[in-house]
Amino acid sequence: MASESGKLWGGRFVGAVDPIMEKFNASIAYDRHLWEVDVQGSKAYSRGLEKAGLLTKAEMDQILHGLDKVAEEWAQGTFKLNSNDEDIHTANERRLKELIGATAGKLHTGRSRNDQVVTDLRLWMRQTCSTLSGLLWELIRTMVDRAEARVPVLGFAVHDPSQQDGRGPHPLLHQGIQLRAALRCLQTWPLRRWTSQGSSPFSASTSVPSTGSSLMPQKKNPDSLELIRSKAGRVFGRCAGLLMTLKGLPSTYNKDLQEDKEAVFEVSDTMSAVLQVATGVISTLQIHQENMGQALSPDMLATDLAYYLVRKGMPFRQAHEASGKAVFMAETKGVALNQLSLQELQTISPLFSGDVICVWDYGHSVEQYGALGGTARSSVDWQIRQVRALLQAQQA
């Protein structure tokens, strides 16, 4: 039990601890998040002590009842910390002694705070990962629901329109169901084009993903998506910091590891918020199919024009060059790419023939990619079935 100084380790030392060191050493400001699992661990440990014959049944019951009171105070927000509570373990044991007396001192028999902190964190991580997993599955479920809408969207390459993407609202099923891929799509999408007013193919809900401008009353800013993008930097920064802390540590528990708590708690809170906000964004996102169609332009089919020549037997590098020449010719003449005549195209390559007209079909452009992960309806439907099966298995 704690010494007269209030420290669990105080018997070895004479005199007061330097106040700067005391503050430097304390972790109660953040490891108080572990109060519930610390009580759970202590209750389990007291039962172990009773089985080992180190506590009587009456003593164990007294400790369990006292720990229930400690937990009740934490849950109701009435637990009061004092200046000697350097961490959650000290605080809970100190309060237990106040509630049940000297019997509380037997709880620490054969026990180290190193054991406690490792046990507490493992219990907390199990609970937290379960919660985050549920939020992740809900995001995936929402993404799949929206993917079934089958609204072709624009793909962007270096923030310029490139090709259609037939997989539904853009982040959906981008790289299977991996969260990092789904969020990467949210992070890299040109946000202002995404949600700008007027002819935008998308509009954001005013409740979940957007806020207003302090200057321009008409604006609706996609702040949620921008914050998700920025949170990724903080999360990866925390990871880098923790890896640096772990680098070169000897075996067993070292006090360096106290520094993992703030990182773990912050990342947990961040991920919980990100998953819920992302789910809200996807579920409330309004897709304007008419505007989406108006955003399509024939120059987006330049790659399809190159593939047309490839199917005629031309090597891709030559086909790419030929398609580029067609784009240049259209720009020079001031017409759309699909307005070039067959004769004009044949000045670039004799492989062009009357069936080139099929290239200018946007639906055909999407349906031609039937491979795994492609944009064709059959491919997207297969991907949706796979994710639906995973969702059902997860619920079983």
3-state helix/strand/coil string of 210-253? CEECCCCCCCEECHHHHHHHHHHHHHHHHHHHHHHHHCCCCCCC
Instruction: For residue 194, name the pLDDT band (cuts at 50, 70, 90).
Output: low
Domain coverage including residue 380: 298-395
User: What is the per-residue pLDDT across 160-178, written as a single tens digit (0 to 9) for each?
Assistant: 544 555 444 444 444 344 4
Active site residue 159: yes
> Of the residues 58, 78, 111, which one is the last residue of a structural domain?
111
Written as one letter, the residue type at 304 is: D
Comparing 40 with 184, the larger pLDDT belongs to 40
Q: What single DSSP character describes residue 17? A: P
Does residue 171 sit in the same domain as residue 269?
A: yes
Average pLDDT, the chain: 80
2, part of any domain? no
Which one is catalytic: 3, 159, 230, 353? 159
The H or E element spanning position 37 is helix 35-51
| Mean pLDDT, residues 198-204 taken together | 56
Q: Is residue 4 part of a domain?
A: no
Q: Which of 248, 269, 295 is the last residue of a domain?
A: 295
Greater pLDDT, 22 or 159? 22
Identify which has the larger pLDDT, 119 or 177.
119
Radius of gyration of the chain (CA): 31
| pLDDT (0 to 100) of residue 97 | 96
SS3 content of the chain, % helix, strand, coil (to 5): 65, 5, 30
Helix (H, G, I), strand (E, B) or coil at 47: helix
Q: 227: pLDDT confidence band, cut at 50, 70 and 90?
A: confident
User: Where are the extended beta strands (E) located within the chain?
Assistant: 153-157, 160-165, 174-177, 202-203, 211-212, 220-221, 286-287
Phi, psi of 270 (to 5 degrees): -65, -50
Q: Please check whether residue 3 lies inside any domain of the structure.
A: no
Q: Kindly state the tokens that stand for 35.
A: 């109060």
How far apart (Å, rounded) are the C-alpha atoms in residues 199 and 291? 6
- Pairing of β 286-287 and β 202-203: antiparallel
Count of structural domains within the chain? 3
Q: pLDDT tens-digit profile of 268-290?
A: 999 999 999 888 888 887 777 77
In this prediction, residues 255-265 reach a mean pLDDT of: 86
DSSP per residue, 292-323: HHHH--GGGGHHHHHHHHHHTT--HHHHHHHH
pLDDT of the residue at 369: 84
Looking at the domain assignment, is residue 373 inside a domain?
yes
For residue 235, pLDDT over 80 is answered with yes
Q: Is residue 5 part of a domain?
A: no
Domain boundary among 295, 312, 336: 295
- The band of 77, judged by pLDDT with boundaries at 50, 70 and 90, is very high
Question: Region 167-195: what's the mean pLDDT?
Answer: 42
Q: Out of 3, 112, 199, 213, which one is annotated catalytic? A: 213
Measured CA to CA, the distance from residue 44 to residue 179 in angstroms comes to 36
Q: For residue 70, is pLDDT > 70?
A: yes
The C-alpha atoms of residue 136 and residue 271 are separated, in whole angstroms, by 9
Q: Higher confidence at residue 77 or residue 180? A: 77
Q: How confident is the model over 336-366, as pLDDT tens digits?
A: 999 999 999 999 999 999 999 999 998 888 8
Please tell me what DSSP assigns to residue 104.
G
Residues 126 and 275 occupy one common structural domain:
yes
Flag whether 247 is in a domain: yes
Tell me if 155 sits within 8 A of 165, measured CB to CB.
yes
Residues 272 and 152 placed together within one structural domain of the fold: yes
Q: Which of 61-65, 73-77, 130-134, 148-152 has the lowest average pLDDT?
A: 148-152
Residue 65 annotated to the active site: no
pLDDT of residue 332: 96
**Pairing assessment for the beta strands 220-221 and 211-212 based on DSSP bridges:** antiparallel
More confident residue, 229 or 6: 229
Model pLDDT, residue 106 = 96
What's 343's domain CATH number? 1.10.40.30
Which pLDDT band holds residue 237 (cuts at 50, 70, 90)? very high
